[in-house]
Structure 1
């Protein structure tokens, strides 16, 4: 089966704790409603973490 690439739905900065979610309507990241974190932080998103961008096509059957 073919694998599909998926994107994360949420992310958290490892430096300041800022939380963002992906908004399908705008096609971009938006700050969570109960946002914490520093506005001027150079955000470091966990790009090498446990998120796996590939879905197994068999799970959609």
Structure 2
């Protein structure tokens, strides 16, 4: 039985719309861009990311 650990690669704040993507090279979250614009949202927001209990980090049989 093989199980794979998954990690999120993108996240969006449910309060202000800030978008971030995981950068493998930097090993850090970076601002997402859409149509050439950075998805900065509100810099003073206490971000509520859309990754919650519904995200299952394990995949496999």
Q: What TM-score bracket applies, with the shorter chain setting the length?
A: 0.7 to 0.9
- Unmatched tracts of structure 2, length 5 or more: none
* 1:1-61 matched pairs, under 5 angstroms: 1-33=1-33, 34=37, 35-48=39-52, 50-56=54-60
Q: CA RMSD in A?
A: 1.6
**More strand, by proportion:** 2
Q: Shift in Å at residue 53 of structure 1?
A: 1.0
Aligned pair count? 57
Point out 4+ residue stretches in structure 1 off by more than 6 angstroms.
none
TM-score normalized by structure 2?
Answer: 0.78
Q: TM-score, normalised by structure 1?
A: 0.78
**CA deviation after TM superposition for structure 1 residue 19, in Å:** 0.5
